[in-house]
């Protein structure tokens, strides 16, 4: 009788395990990990219905791996396992049993994988001033797989190319299909707007409201398409940059809809928006409440603001960044809304990534106003309490207060090309200004072509500056074919690349589909970008600039092997400059080869530069 009773209890326990596992999915984040990581500590967030009942977690003995602790939350659907994965651990499978006081509740098999032996060689190489970044909004570039245009079960079922704010069907396969176009143009690195799942009910084409960190959006093709794209890039010697969002998530994210506890997010008595005033973070006179509203206020009502002071969420975000870097072989990260994050958290996150991958490139979005503001958020030379460890930033100052006024304002003491010159003189505050990303426009700003009055000559001037100045140049998709429009409404700066969809009236990926003007600008970019690949003066050389005179701005890029002269003349009329003024840089040279047309020009006396031109010549 006793034996029968024991058998009956054993059967019931086994059925209990089968029943629970069958009815409720058990998810773990990160979904897998690797041996040989420098940081040997690993946090596993387990999410399953009433998993807290199985808080007695047992790890089947595994050499080199130790279960150190288990943490539970107010919400019974979560628990966290802490592991020590030592350097001696080998790839394999970890097996966990979750037990209540009386019986097993669930089981988990967890993969430890071997790290790629190509890190730092063909993948995770980093991005430098030798690269040309091309920014793509995947939904708006090209539709390579119509089968993923709508995904059953997702909240947003829109597919309407006539509406700026709905999904259009572009995907990762569409990008992969046009890598020849990009490589021929001279592009060496792709930065994609977010590719993670954004299962929001509307306005999801931009991708900045994650709802699951470990799922690549199936409307873009999912993880298979992402891996295939990255593999294709790396085989070509090209690079990939992923967009990170640490400040917020989408309101439909499972961590918000079924949050472990309320401390994972910032809360206010009533809804409180961020002020968007980054100045308070460096203002010596700022009030505490203004600083709090800036950092802890929500970006928009549909994006809950993450509390980086919560160590579990902070670890979740950092481990996700490490996971993506290793899983996908990322060469760089662009960090969204950098100024709105808790800055001590960002230093910790940046350090974790760079400790593990020293060659990895990180740069933050710093849509701020003023050199002190921008430099505050990256490595700088200030002796101040907060010291950022971020390698580079998006250089809004050289955009808003540099190239734009240079080409849209008349010449004055602080206007026109003098504004560009003056902004560049402040580079002394950066630890390394060459790590900053230069750009003419992006997915949030008015198209550069529209900002310069749809003037083709000035468009080419902006491109010439972008590809010859210091820093890492970034080109927004379509700039090379004169895509236009202003940022109000911002949907118009996110139009589809013509030719990316079957049946498009024109295919701008092909010369025959472009107008003469579009081909002129495309070929201009192509010539200069491909020359830049082997022009060490432009990619790694020094910059020397001269005080603008008569509305003309002259700068040199140079090293021991090469010297390149750049003369910017935004005026309508031709200007003649006396080359004797630049003897410091031209000594020993008598001619310059025009990079665009190959012609040779004497530079020993006078140089004539046509109106609305950036004259670029290699000295000989």
Contacts 24+ apart (CB under 8 A), 308-313: 308/246, 308/341, 308/342, 308/344, 308/345, 309/342, 309/345, 310/263, 310/264, 312/43, 312/45, 312/71, 312/80, 312/260, 312/264, 313/255, 313/264
For tokens 């003309």, the residue is 552
CA distance 141 to 478: 9
Distance of CA 21 to the CA centre of its chain: 38
Residue 346's closest CA among 436, 278, 246?
A: 246
Alpha-carbon radius of gyration of the chain: 27
Tell me if 132 sits within 8 A of 439, measured CB to CB: no
Which residues are catalytically annotated? 336, 365
Residue 221's closest CA among 174, 255, 182, 263?
A: 174
Tell me if 422 sits within 8 A of 460, measured CB to CB: no
Tell me if 186 sits within 8 A of 193, measured CB to CB: no
Tokens of 244: 């990170």
Q: Would the CA dihedral through 132, 136, 141, 142 be positive or negative? A: positive
Tokens of 559: 């090293």
Tell me if 338 sits within 8 A of 344, measured CB to CB: no
Count of CB atoms within 10 A of residue 28's CB? 17
Q: Facing residues of 248 across strands?
A: 305
Q: Would the CA dihedral through 181, 186, 192, 193 be positive or negative? A: negative
Tokens of 34: 């690797």
CA distance 174 to 553: 41
For tokens 């426009």, the residue is 441
Q: Would the CA dihedral through 59, 61, 65, 66 be positive or negative? A: positive
Reduce the DSSP state of residue 599 to 3 states and report it.
coil
Q: Where do the DSSP E strands lie in 9-146?
A: 27-29, 33-34, 41-47, 56-59, 65-72, 78-85, 92-99, 104-113, 133-136
């Amino acid at each position: 009788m006793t034996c029968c009773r024991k058998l009956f209890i054993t059967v019931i326990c086994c059925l209990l395990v089968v029943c629970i596992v069958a009815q409720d999915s058990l998810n773990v984040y990160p979904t897998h990990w690797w041996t040989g990581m420098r940081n040997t500590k690993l946090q596993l967030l387990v999410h399953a219905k009433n998993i807290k009942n199985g808080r007695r977690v047992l790890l089947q003995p595994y050499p080199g791996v130790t279960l150190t602790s288990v943490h539970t939350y107010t919400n019974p659907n979560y628990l966290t396992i802490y592991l020590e994965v030592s350097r001696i651990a080998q790839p394999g499978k970890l097996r966990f049993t979750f037990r209540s006081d009386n019986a097993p509740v669930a089981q988990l098999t967890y993969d430890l994988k071997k790290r790629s032996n190509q890190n730092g060689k063909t993948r995770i190489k980093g991005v430098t001033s030798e690269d040309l970044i091309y920014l793509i909004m995947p939904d708006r570039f090209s539709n390579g797989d119509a089968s993923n245009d709508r995904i059953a079960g997702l909240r947003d079922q829109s597919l309407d190319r006539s509406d700026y704010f709905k999904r259009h069907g572009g995907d990762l396969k569409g990008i992969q299909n046009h890598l020849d176009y990009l490589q021929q143009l001279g592009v060496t690195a792709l930065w994609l707007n977010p590719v993670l799942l954004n299962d929001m009910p509307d306005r999801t084409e931009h991708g900045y409201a994650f709802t699951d960190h470990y799922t690549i959006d199936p409307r873009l093709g999912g993880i298979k398409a992402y891996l295939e794209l990255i593999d294709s890039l790396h085989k070509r010697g090209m690079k990939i940059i992923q967009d990170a969002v640490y400040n917020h998530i989408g309101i439909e994210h499972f961590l918000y809809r079924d949050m472990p506890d309320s401390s994972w997010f910032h809360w206010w008595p009533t809804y409180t928006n961020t002020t968007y005033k980054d100045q308070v973070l460096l203002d010596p006179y700022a009030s505490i409440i203004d600083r709090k509203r800036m950092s802890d206020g929500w970006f928009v009502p549909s994006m809950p603001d993450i509390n980086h002071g919560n160590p579990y969420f902070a670890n979740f975000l950092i481990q996700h960044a490490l996971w993506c870097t290793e899983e996908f072989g990322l060469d760089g990260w662009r960090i969204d809304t950098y100024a709105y994050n808790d800055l001590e958290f960002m230093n910790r996150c940046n350090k974790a990534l760079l400790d593990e991958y020293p060659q990895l490139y990180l740069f933050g979005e710093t849509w701020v106003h003023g050199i002190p503001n921008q430099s505050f958020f990256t490595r700088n030379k200030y002796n101040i309490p907060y010291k950022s460890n971020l390698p580079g930033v998006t250089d809004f100052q050289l955009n808003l207060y540099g190239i734009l006024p240079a080409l849209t304002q008349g010449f004055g003491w602080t206007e026109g090309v003098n504004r560009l010159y003056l902004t560049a003189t402040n580079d002394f505050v950066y630890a390394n200004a060459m790590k900053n990303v230069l750009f003419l426009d992006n997915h949030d700003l008015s198209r550069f072509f529209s900002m310069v009055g749809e003037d083709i000559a000035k468009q080419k001037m902006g491109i010439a500056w972008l590809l010859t100045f210091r820093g890492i140049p970034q080109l927004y998709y379509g700039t090379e074919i004169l895509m236009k429009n202003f940022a109000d409404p911002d949907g118009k700066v996110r139009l589809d690349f013509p030719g990316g969809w079957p049946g498009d009236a024109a295919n701008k990926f092909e010369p025959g589909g472009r107008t003469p003007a579009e081909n002129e600008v495309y070929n201009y970019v192509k010539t200069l970008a491909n020359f830049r690949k082997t022009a060490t003066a432009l990619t790694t050389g020094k910059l020397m600039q001269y005080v603008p005179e008569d509305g003309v701005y002259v700068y040199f890029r140079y090293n021991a092997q090469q010297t390149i002269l750049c003369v910017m003349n935004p005026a309508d009329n031709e200007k003649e400059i006396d080359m004797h003024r630049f003897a410091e840089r031209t000594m020993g040279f008598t001619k310059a080869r025009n990079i665009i047309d190959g012609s040779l020009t004497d530079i020993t006396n006078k140089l004539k530069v046509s109106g609305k031109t950036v004259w670029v010549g290699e000295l000989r």
